[in-house]
């Protein structure tokens, strides 16, 4: 069960009262800057994590057109509703923004800008509640990691498939169900990348499984490796 820190109380709480209860993830955005883009990304991750746990989700947001265009480039799902309806609602917003009663999930501000193709990776690599400066070092790290992983996944895909090791699956789920700790998910993938005792087919399935949450298109280069 996903547990998330409620910004109203600072305490961890169950994200939803019942796993099968239809839940609305509402992103509160009014500007078109990168901080607002991070709010949409956190809402996207939250919805993905809940769905992986078996909870049906509807996303709710009304971003300005320029922000919606940037969100599309980052692979952020489009909202499926304009207003919240009955049932649990999780409010994703920047610190200090007003929201109706309910669990508040905060995304800290972002300064700077950069290559849109790298923004998702750069934002995922930092805890969502920590402010982020998109300097060149941050973006260079995102470029190096994303390129290396996509090439590795394409290579591993040429080997016979093997299931995700159960202990690795549990590590991944424990990471994202603990306050949506995406940097911890990425750390699990780094260990898998370097593990000497894991078949390449299992590495491939592990990365493909984790990418259901991350949305980094890690399998995009399959078929390009001979």
In the block, tokens 């087919």 appear at 201
Q: What is the pLDDT of residue 20?
A: 72
Domain at 117-226, CATH class: mainly alpha
pLDDT tens-place string over residues 187-217 = 999 999 999 999 999 999 999 999 999 999 9
d(CA 40, CA 77): 9
The confidence band for 85, taking pLDDT boundaries of 50, 70 and 90, is: low
Interatomic CA distance for residues 45 and 176, integer angstroms: 9
Residue in 7, 125, 4 with CA at minimum distance from that of residue 53: 4
Q: What is the pLDDT of residue 21?
A: 77
Q: Which pLDDT band, with edges at 50, 70 and 90, does 83 fall under?
A: low
Span of 75-79, 161-165, 198-202 with lowest mean pLDDT: 75-79
pLDDT at res. 153: 97
Phi and psi at residue 48, to the nearest 5°: -65, -45
Q: Where are the domains of the chain?
A: 3-107, 117-226
Using a cut of 0.85, tell me whether the model's pTM lies above it: yes
pLDDT at 81 (0 to 100): 64
Q: Rounded to an integer, what distance in angstroms lies between the CA atom of residue 181 and that of residue 89?
A: 20
What average pLDDT score do residues 45-49 get?
A: 97
Per the structure block, which two tokens stand in for 100?
């109706």
Mean per-residue pLDDT, 159-185: 97
Chain-wide mean pLDDT for the chain? Answer: 92
Model pLDDT, residue 17:
80
Give the model's pLDDT for residue 116.
84
């Amino acid at each position: 069960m996903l547990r998330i820190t409620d910004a109203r109380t600072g305490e961890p709480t169950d994200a939803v009262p019942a796993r099968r209860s239809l839940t609305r993830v509402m992103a509160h955005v009014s500007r078109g800057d990168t901080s607002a883009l991070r709010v949409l990304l956190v809402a996207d991750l939250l919805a993905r994590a809940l769905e992986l746990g078996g909870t049906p989700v509807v996303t709710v947001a009304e971003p300005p057109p320029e922000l919606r265009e940037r969100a599309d480039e980052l692979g952020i799902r489009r909202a499926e509703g304009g207003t919240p309806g009955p049932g649990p609602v999780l409010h994703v917003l920047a610190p200090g923004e007003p929201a109706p009663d309910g669990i508040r999930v905060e995304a800290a501000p972002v300064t700077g800008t950069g290559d849109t193709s790298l923004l998702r990776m750069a934002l995922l690599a930092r805890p969502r509640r920590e402010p982020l400066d998109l300097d060149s070092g941050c973006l260079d790290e995102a470029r190096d990691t994303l390129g290396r992983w996509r090439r590795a996944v394409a290579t591993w895909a040429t080997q016979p498939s093997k299931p995700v090791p159960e202990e690795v699956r549990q590590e991944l789920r424990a990471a994202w169900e603990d306050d949506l700790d995406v940097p911890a998910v990425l750390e699990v993938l780094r260990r898998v990348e370097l593990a000497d005792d894991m078949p390449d087919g299992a590495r491939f399935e592990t990365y493909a499984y984790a990418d259901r949450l991350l949305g980094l298109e890690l399998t995009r280069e399959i078929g390009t490796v001979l």
